[in-house]
């Protein structure tokens, strides 16, 4: 399987190292393509073409067959445009690289990984001293019988690989057929291996693995993507493999299976793609590496199992890294609650399951933390976990008082596909096309679509459904304060304006707790005219305050006079608290949530400021 068009991930390789040197135990896909590989193939084709031109000079069939075999062998021993031997050396750095980021860029191709070495004594996990002495005794006896002597580290070895005798024979022996390390062995190879192997079918000892390295090959030299691959894929995968290796010699056993299959395939001249299929079918680690490559290439989550341990890997969406989620944010689940909770059967996931069960996208996370008696930092961590694994998305709390419109990038091509799902969930409510048609018209408060209090819950579920599938977005209101230098001398209006709403200025606001909201109850009103906007000769002298936190002396005086001129005593007292929202950047719909105020009260204050000519606004998505 080749990477999809535009995919940055080219291949994944598994390198292991023993005293005989490094080996590429596995790579996927079978024939990954890079610019270097393409260039090499082109050069090979040119060489073949040159030879063909001279066939009339040297027409000896034997020579032709020799050249053909040489070309085939040359192709078979190349990977990613390089010889296998050079790649193995490049991707098996010395002990200095142990558990560190490995990154090399060659000819526009980046190799990224996280090498892991065995301990200095050659073991992968620590043991009690008595056990170690027992192992050493058995090992020395075994070496004496087999004629194998201890190897000491060669100071000239730039890789600083510590080589020891095979693993401890004190473990309970298993029934197995040992696998030779040499790819040139002419004997029939068995796929069975043992972590305790001390001899092979050929009579040679199985070598102890000193290092393993899962390498991801990335197109280009973009540091950002390479860093993401290391941080979110290579590093956690290597840690998981190290965990399994220390407990079960997992990587050793799995890599021996891979190498055995490669040796057998070489003997039988098996096609590389057939070999790859066999390796994936017979080896859990081979399957896991294939799964990681394919899922990450598609931008999806790779769920794999290593020696009975479940592991999920993926590169989080960019917005997760810079998430500004806080106590005022809400969480929108991207899967049904029941499906998510079924996946959380482990007892350690009880808190997360409780969070999901009580979650609602209409409630800020701060209030949810209080309700569940969970510390806010812990709750935010749970929410971030769901976002990271693409089970949820951070959004402003859904509210019936907000205006929601059809998103310009709405996936209209998916409407037909979603209609049956929508119909099963909301069988007695307006259809999906009907809801989309209404929301594509003139913006209104979403609450104006809700027939009664009893319908509020299902209609909010519809809104969550539309949000989940990215059909709608919130229409946000921002604004600035403005006034005239003589604002305090202006005639105060005595017309009541408490029934107006800035967030839907042409519709009578309806409280969420109102008994009923029917279409015939919708009252169309107009805003009171502002004298300075109609008749005032000095209208051109209005001052717009762009940033209340950074005022000139004139702006400060105008703002002070404007606040003192307000008739609403409570609004006058609250203005210092609200000033920071009038900078054209803050969303006015968020004031109530972030300040812990009643939304209806905030709407009245904003309507008052606008009616008095002190607030100018604009709306955007």
What average pLDDT does the segment 161-176 reach?
A: 30
Confidence of residue 483 (pLDDT cuts 50, 70, 90): confident
Average pLDDT over the chain, rounded to an integer: 75
pLDDT of residue 395: 92
Mind listing the pLDDT tens digit for each residue in 384-437? 888 888 889 999 999 999 999 999 999 999 999 999 999 999 999 999 999 999
pLDDT of residue 36: 52
- The yes-or-no verdict on residue 540 having pLDDT over 80 is no
- The yes-or-no verdict on residue 162 having pLDDT over 80 is no
Confidence of residue 159 (pLDDT cuts 50, 70, 90): very low
Contact 14, 213 (CB under 8 A): yes
pLDDT of residue 286: 93
Higher pLDDT, 501 or 223: 223
Mind listing the pLDDT tens digit for each residue in 67-82? 444 444 544 478 888 8
Contact 544, 616 (CB under 8 A): yes
pLDDT of residue 207: 74
Q: First CA to last CA across the chain, in angstroms?
A: 40
Q: How far is CA 31 from CA 27, 273, 286, 479, 502, in A?
A: 9, 8, 16, 58, 62
Confidence of residue 495 (pLDDT cuts 50, 70, 90): very low
Q: Locate tokens 């009171």: which residue?
A: 528
Residues 351, 357: Cα–Cα separation, whole Å: 10
Collect all residues with Cβ–Cβ distance below 8 Å to 113 and sequence separation of at least 6.
91, 102, 103, 213, 214, 215, 216, 230, 234, 238
Contact 55, 45 (CB under 8 A): no
What average pLDDT does the segment 297-325 reach?
A: 77
What average pLDDT does the segment 324-348 reach?
A: 84
Residues 368, 295: Cα–Cα separation, whole Å: 34
User: At residue 380, what are phi and psi to the nearest 5 degrees?
Assistant: -65, -35
For strands 211-219 and 9-18, give the pairing.
antiparallel
Confidence of residue 347 (pLDDT cuts 50, 70, 90): low
Chain centroid to CA 101: how far? Answer: 20
Contact 166, 198 (CB under 8 A): yes
Residues 436, 422: Cα–Cα separation, whole Å: 12
Return the closest-CA partner of residue 590 out of 320, 406, 364: 364
C-alpha dihedral (593, 598, 601, 603), degrees to nearest 10: 40
DSSP string, 398-440: P-TTSEEEE-TT--GGGHHHHHHHHHHHSTTS--HHHHHHHHT
Peptide bond into 580 cis (omega under 30): no
Structure tokens at 230: 């290391």
Residues 217, 24: Cα–Cα separation, whole Å: 14
Residues 400, 156: Cα–Cα separation, whole Å: 73
Confidence of residue 237 (pLDDT cuts 50, 70, 90): very high
Q: Which DSSP state fits 515? A: S
Mind listing the pLDDT tens digit for each residue in 74-107? 444 788 888 899 999 999 999 999 999 999 988 8
Higher pLDDT, 488 or 603: 603
Higher pLDDT, 57 or 436: 436
Q: Hey, is 550 helix, strand or coil?
A: coil
Collect all residues with Cβ–Cβ distance below 8 Å to 578 and sequence separation of at least 6.
591, 595, 605
pLDDT of residue 348: 67
Q: How many helices (H) and strands (E) does the chain have?
A: 22, 16
Structure tokens at 521: 């109850």
Q: What percent of the chain has pLDDT over 70?
A: 68
Residues 402, 596: Cα–Cα separation, whole Å: 17
């Amino acid at each position: 399987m080749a990477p999809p068009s535009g995919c940055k991930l080219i291949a994944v390789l598994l390198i292991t190292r023993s005293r005989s040197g490094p080996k590429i135990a596995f790579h996927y896909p079978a024939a990954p393509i890079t610019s270097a590989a393409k260039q090499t193939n082109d050069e090979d084709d040119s060489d073949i073409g040159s030879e063909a031109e001279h066939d009339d000079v040297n027409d000896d069939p034997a020579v032709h067959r020799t050249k053909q075999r040489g070309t085939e062998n040359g192709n078979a021993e190349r990977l990613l445009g390089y010889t296998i031997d050079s790649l193995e050396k490049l991707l098996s750095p010395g002990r200095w690289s142990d558990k560190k980021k490995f990154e090399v860029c060659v000819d526009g191709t980046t190799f990224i990984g996280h090498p892991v070495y065995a301990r200095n004594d050659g073991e992968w996990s620590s043991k009690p001293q008595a056990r170690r002495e027992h192992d050493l005794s058995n090992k020395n006896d075994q070496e004496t019988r087999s004629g194998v002597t201890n190897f000491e580290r060669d100071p000239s070895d730039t890789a600083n690989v510590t080589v020891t005798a095979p693993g401890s024979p004190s473990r309970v022996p298993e029934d197995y057929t040992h696998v030779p390390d040499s790819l040139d062995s002419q004997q029939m190879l068995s796929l069975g291996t043992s972590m305790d192997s001390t001899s092979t079918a050929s009579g040679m000892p199985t070598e102890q693995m000193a290092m393993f390295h899962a390498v991801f090959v990335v197109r280009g030299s973009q540091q950002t993507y390479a860093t993401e691959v290391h941080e979110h894929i290579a590093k956690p995968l290597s840690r998981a493999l190290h965990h399994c290796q220390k407990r079960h010699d997992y990587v050793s056993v799995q890599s021996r299976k891979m190498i055995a299959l490669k040796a057998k395939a070489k003997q039988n001249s098996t096609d590389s793609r057939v070999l790859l299929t066999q390796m994936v079918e017979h080896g859990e680690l081979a399957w896991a590496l294939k799964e990681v490559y394919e899922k990450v290439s598609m931008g999806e989550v790779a769920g794999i199992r290593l020696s009975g341990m479940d592991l999920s890997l993926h590169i989080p969406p960019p917005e997760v890294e810079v998430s500004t989620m806080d106590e005022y944010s809400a969480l929108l689940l991207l899967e049904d609650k029941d499906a998510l909770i079924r996946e959380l059967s482990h007892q350690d996931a009880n808190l997360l399951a409780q969070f999901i069960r009580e979650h609602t996208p209409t409630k800020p996370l701060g209030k949810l933390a209080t309700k569940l008696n969970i510390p806010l930092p812990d709750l935010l961590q749970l929410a971030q976990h769901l976002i990271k694994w693409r089970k949820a998305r951070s959004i402003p709390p859904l509210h019936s008082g907000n205006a929601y419109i059809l998103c310009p990038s709405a996936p209209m091509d998916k409407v037909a596909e979603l209609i049956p799902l929508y119909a099963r969930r909301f069988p007695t409510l307006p259809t999906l096309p009907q809801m989309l048609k209404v929301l594509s018209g003139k913006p209104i408060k979403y609450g104006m679509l809700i027939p009664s209090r009893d319908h509020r819950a299902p209609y909010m579920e519809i809104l969550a459904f539309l949000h989940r599938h990215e059909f709608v977005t919130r229409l946000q209101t921002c604004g600035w304060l403005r006034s005239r230098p003589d604002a305090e001398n202006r005639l105060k209006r005595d017309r009541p304006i408490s029934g107006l709403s800035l967030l839907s200025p042409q519709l009578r606001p309806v409280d969420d707790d109102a008994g009923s909201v029917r279409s015939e109850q919708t009252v169309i009103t107009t805003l009171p005219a502002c004298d300075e906007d109609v008749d005032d000769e000095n209208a051109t002298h209005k001052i717009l305050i762009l940033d209340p936190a950074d005022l000139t002396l004139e702006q400060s005086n105008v703002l002070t006079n404007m606040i003192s001129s307000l008739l609403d005593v409570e609004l006058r007292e609250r203005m210092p608290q609200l000033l920071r929202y009038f900078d054209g950047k803050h969303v006015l719909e968020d004031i109530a949530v972030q300040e812990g105020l009643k939304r209806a009260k905030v709407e009245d204050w904003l309507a008052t400021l606008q009616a008095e000519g002190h607030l100018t606004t604009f709306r955007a998505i």
